[in-house]
Structure 1
Amino acid sequence: MHHPLCNVIEPRFERLFIADSYANRRGKGTHRAIDRLQHFAQRHRYVLRADIVKHFPSIDHQVLHAILARVVPEADLMALIDRIIASGAGVLDEEYATVYFPGDDLLAACRPRGLPIGNLTSQFWSNCYLHPFDQFVTRELRWAAYLRYVDDFALFSDSKRELWAWKRAIVERLARLRLTIHEGPAQVVPVENGIPWLGFVVFPGYRRVKARKVRGATSRLSGRLDDYLAGHISFAELDASVKAWVNHVRQADTWGLRRHVFAGLRFTMVPEKSTGAARP
């Protein structure tokens, strides 16, 4: 049901989405989002990077319905959409702390909210839900140096004062969608400090993998190697896991890091010009 529904309504929204929204869209993805962030970092002095608090648990069903209904006028399609949305009510309640917004009464805590994170429709509707916010930044703030990946977004400028003013405007606009940002990390900083972004720290001239991500990958690859040596998985499965990690971290300056990780796991690096595999 989810795939056919997305096939029908996705093209309608795709025509409306901004170019610099990179999650769950054909021809986009994490690597292009990283490239684009670095592109902006090379052209501006300061960045405001922020992320939304508990995005999927916070998605308000009434707000989402209103956004979708503007583009989907068919009553039968909206009835189906409403049933799917309603099925997610309460699924992530344990992850959501009630937030009251201007104009709320005590019944606001009872508003249906939340989308299952893994569903195809949830991923698509996440983009639809934040589409009005994207339009606010690019049209009302009239600023092009902006990009978003799911609930992470960044704005660039040569003026710190401008970015601080935009932050206040952003917080107010997100409140209309019943969303908040993590205030602590949402600071205006020089791009030379490095920008945490999708598992990397991006600088104007180079990129690094976050240390936490390296530790996690090392642990996972070690487990896969143990499974292979114990005969629980095939070499092809081990090789696929290694290649997936290599292809991801290649987005940063990681040749030395990969050698270090593989040496600790008793792997031998294959030359860079080859497929990027490693052998036990």
Structure 2
Amino acid sequence: MQRDLLSDKYRPGGYSSFYIIEPKRRKISAAPFRDRVVHHALVNVLEPLFERRFIFDSYACRRGKGTHRAIKRSQYYLRKHPWCLKTDIVKFFPNIDHIELLRVIGKTVRDEATMGLIRRILHSGEGLLSDEATPHFFEGDDLFSVLRPKGLPIGNLTSQFFANVFLDPIDHFIKEDLRVPGYVRYADDLLLFGDSKAQLWQWQTAITELLEDWRLLLHKNKTHVLPTHCGINFLGMRVFQNGLRFNQNGIRRFNSRVKRFRWLKKRGAINPARITASIRAWLSYARFANTAGIREAIWRRLKF
């Protein structure tokens, strides 16, 4: 593999795809082990170049960040500001435009061999999520615009990393041009905090216009300006100014997962170690909120 990379003969293999249904139906595409090694090596090289550019309040797939820190930071802003704009991007990973992404990466990565490797990795996942992409004509599009390559396979480490790179200019626009006083992003989930409801809607309009330049759309049905004293749903939690509760939808999904595990175990279709790991991970996450009673009740029912 090293020889192939050095001689520019490396070519990614095919993907194995499957669907998950929690928290919503998503297509996961797994690259061959050989390619995953290349992905990790590439991110190890690129990460220091981009990490120094990323804003502090971007929390997905970054060292020292993660869901818990994102929730704590959102709680901090909930206490400081009376209003929150909550929104996310329509079908984010399926709609990431390769031409725009390469343009962003190319501003920092000047080595042509590295850019060639990035192009091959992007091309290897092209079309995997075409059935999930949102058809939309942006200003200036022609009939051939629908053929623009797009989509990052959910499951690649490079996809998570490139997603942060792609939204980094948006982050800087929000923090530096709009001067939003409180902002938290986890992947394509965005929280903006401010002192004026009208101002937040103005910021939403500006962000919508900029995202369209990047061929992305905000979810109209998932864009809300909310009073912070009521709390917000974020990353599976109901986040309040002075406390956390586990989202009821998360509990229902966990109960459904346990039922499915029981069904699979009866048929010998799942490794018990996988069941244990999944349950422990959920309980560990739930421990972050005020869930002692819920966790105890769930633990009593866990009999396989």
Q: Could you tell me the TM-score, scaled by structure 2's length?
A: 0.82
Alignment of 1:33 onto 2:70: yes
- Alpha-carbon deviation of 1:237? 5.3
Find the counterpart in structure 2 of residue 24 from structure 1: 61
Alignment of 1:59 onto 2:96: yes
- Could you report, residue by residue, the CA deviation over 1:134-160 in whole angstroms, capped at 9, with x for unpaired residues? 010011011241010000010001110
Spell out the pairing of 1:126-205 with structure 2 (5 A cutoff).
126-205=163-242
Q: Distance in 2 between matches of 1:194 and 1:154?
A: 12
Q: Which amino acid aligns with 1:177?
A: W
Task: Give the secondary structure class of the aligned counterpart of 1:63.
Answer: helix
- Cα RMSD of the aligned pairs, angstroms, is 1.9
Question: How many aligned positions are there?
Answer: 266
Conserved in 1, the CA contact under 8 Å of 2:237 and 2:245? yes
Alignment of 1:98 onto 2:135: yes
Task: Give the secondary structure class of the aligned counterpart of 2:216.
Answer: coil
Conserved in 1, the CA contact under 8 Å of 2:181 and 2:194? no
Spell out the pairing of 1:1-280 with structure 2 (5 A cutoff).
1-224=38-261, 233-234=271-272, 238-265=275-302
Q: Which amino acid aligns with 2:222?
A: P
Q: Distance in 2 between matches of 1:8 and 1:194?
A: 40
| Structure 2 gap ranges (5+) | 1-37
- Alpha-carbon deviation of 1:205? 1.6
- Could you report, residue by residue, the CA deviation over 1:11-38 in whole angstroms, capped at 9, with x for unpaired residues? 1000100010000000000111111111
- Alpha-carbon deviation of 1:222? 4.4
- Alpha-carbon deviation of 1:260? 2.5
Q: Which amino acid aligns with 1:189?
A: L
Task: Give the secondary structure class of the aligned counterpart of 1:42.
Answer: helix
Task: Give the secondary structure class of the aligned counterpart of 1:138.
Answer: helix
The structure-2 alpha-carbon separation of the partners of 1:82 and 1:169, relative to structure 1 and needing over 3 Å to count, comes to same
Q: Which amino acid aligns with 2:56?
A: A
Runs of 4+ residues over 2 Å off in structure 1: 219-234, 236-243, 259-266
Q: Which amino acid aligns with 1:240?
A: A
| Structure 1 gap ranges (5+) | 267-279
Q: Distance in 1 between matches of 2:226 and 2:83?
A: 6
Task: Give the secondary structure class of the aligned counterpart of 1:94.
Answer: coil
The structure-2 alpha-carbon separation of the partners of 1:86 and 1:227, relative to structure 1 and needing over 3 Å to count, comes to closer
Q: Distance in 2 between matches of 1:217 and 1:157?
A: 34
